Structures are given as structure tokens and as C-alpha cells.
Amino acid sequence: MKDIERIREELKRDFTETIAEELIPGILHNLANPLNGIMGRTRLLQKRMADHVRRVGAQPGATAEDLAEGCQKVVRDIDAIAQESDRLFQLFRGISGKFYAIASTGEEPIDLSRLVEAEMQIADFYLDFKHEITKRIQLKSGLPEVNGQVSDYSLILTALLRYVMDSLRGKPIKEFTISTELKDGCVLLSAEYSGGVLSEGKTRMLLDRLDDLTETGAGLGPEKRLFQALAVAKSCGAGIGIGTRAGLDRISLRIPCAAAAGIAAKTNGKERIAPDCSFRRISTAD
């Protein structure tokens, strides 16, 4: 009996370990075809119905007015269907984009604000995050791109957001702000939240552990996801800041812009923009 249970567990593990890489792409592909058909037919139906309403409205008499009123109701129903199909398409695009991001391991320029926006849409599939947390998204558009693997930054953001969710669980105040801006030649990604769980001791411990990237986060408990996110960020060349500001826990990543990294490489073949991973308490003025 125990052997059968072990086989069952192995089969379950095999399924869960391969679902993202092998099954989900096929699911998304098969969903895309009928979704595109629904959207295309809806748009065509909108156009045809609008033309029909105009022709009916041009006819004289009370009967024409009655027909026109009925047609307008149908138009409103079609518009509602179109809006919902657009919303479904946005959800579909967000899901497919996430799996593309996880699988994208080549170096390329990355628009960090757009990636954060996409990751926040995915995070809304966690219902507690969607309904219970007050979110402020302050992303600057048109920021310089950063170089790296989309998969790395997608994993960083996923782990960071999951850590914030865990930190806010059970708290009376649940507020979260994520922002991007340009600062000192770097794209600054900041996350602030009302968890109040990052003591100075935990902060020092995390930054000390980051000095040795062979660490996996064992023994860190709730901070394991945060450590893993910061470890990947550091490997990408990001400077790391952890601390408090106005009573909020704050985590910031300073990521060199692609253009700045290119200039440094051309100026001196040995020159590199070194990440600043030293501890600093972030004040309100920072």
C-alpha cells in the first residue's frame, strides 16, 4: 500500500513539475483561437448592427421608431459583450505573458515599468491580494531600459509580491505601494508596505546572507522569498536597500540602465557598475 502511495505522489509531482513548461503553453494556444474568433465576430457584429440601426432610424413613422429603440437595446448588449471579451483578452494576454517571461532566458533590454505592470496584473489572481490590499501603483513611463533576462526580473517580482502578501496577512492595515523612477543613472524600483515585519536585526541578517550567494535561504522562515528575490536581483547587478520610511517597510532595487552599462563597458573594458548591497536605513528624505 505504501508503494502505491509513493507512486501516486510521484505521479502528482511529475504533473505539477511539468505543467508550466509543457501543458500551459498548449492550453493558452487552444484558448487563443476561440477567443480571437469571439472578438473578431463581436467587432463585426457591432459594425453590422450600427449600420442597421442607422438605416432603420432613417425610415419615417412610429414603427421605425419602435424598431430603432429595440435595435439600440441590442447594440448596448453587443457593446457589453465586446467589453467583456476585451477584458478576457487582457487576462489571457497577462497569463500568456507571464509564461513567456519565465521562459525568456536570453539577455535583452527590459522596460521595467511595463514588466511591473504585467506582474501586478498576474498578482491580482491571488484573491487576497486583489480584494484585501490597498494598492498604489506609481510607475514612470519612458524610463531607460535595463539589460538582463526577463525571467530573472519576473521571478524577482513574483517572489517580492508573494513576500508582501505573506507579510500583510492578518494585519489590520494592508497597504502596498510599488513605484519606478530614474535616480542617479539607475532605474529605482521601490516597494513599500505596512507589514512592519522587517526589524533592523532581520535586515542586517538578510544583507549579511546576501554576501554569500551560495545560500539558498534555508532557515530564514518567512523571509526566504524576500532573500531569494534579493539574491537574484544582486546577481543582476542591482544595488539593494532595505529599511523603514514613515513607519512602512521599504525595499528598493537600484538597477543600472542599459545605456549607462554600455557606456561604462566602452569606456573601460574592465569597468563595471558594482551593486551597492550595503545596509542602509531608508529615511523619509531618501
* The pairing of beta strand 134-139 with beta strand 186-193: unpaired
Q: Which residues face 135 on adjacent strands? A: 176
Grid coordinates of 244: 523603514
Q: Are 151 and 115 in contact (CB under 8 A)?
A: no
Q: Residue 44: how many CA atoms within 13 Å on its side-chain side?
A: 6
- For the chain, the first-to-last Cα distance in angstroms comes to 61
3-state secondary structure at position 193: strand
Beta strands, E only, 99-153: 107-110, 134-139, 146-149
**pLDDT tens track, the chain, 286 positions:** 566 577 567 766 776 676 776 667 777 777 777 788 888 888 888 887 787 777 777 777 666 666 777 777 777 888 888 888 888 888 888 888 888 888 888 899 999 999 999 999 989 888 889 999 999 999 999 999 999 999 999 999 999 999 999 999 989 999 999 999 999 889 999 999 997 778 888 888 888 888 876 666 667 788 888 988 898 898 889 999 998 877 789 999 999 998 755 444 444 444 444 434 333 444 333 4
Grid coordinates of 132: 484585501
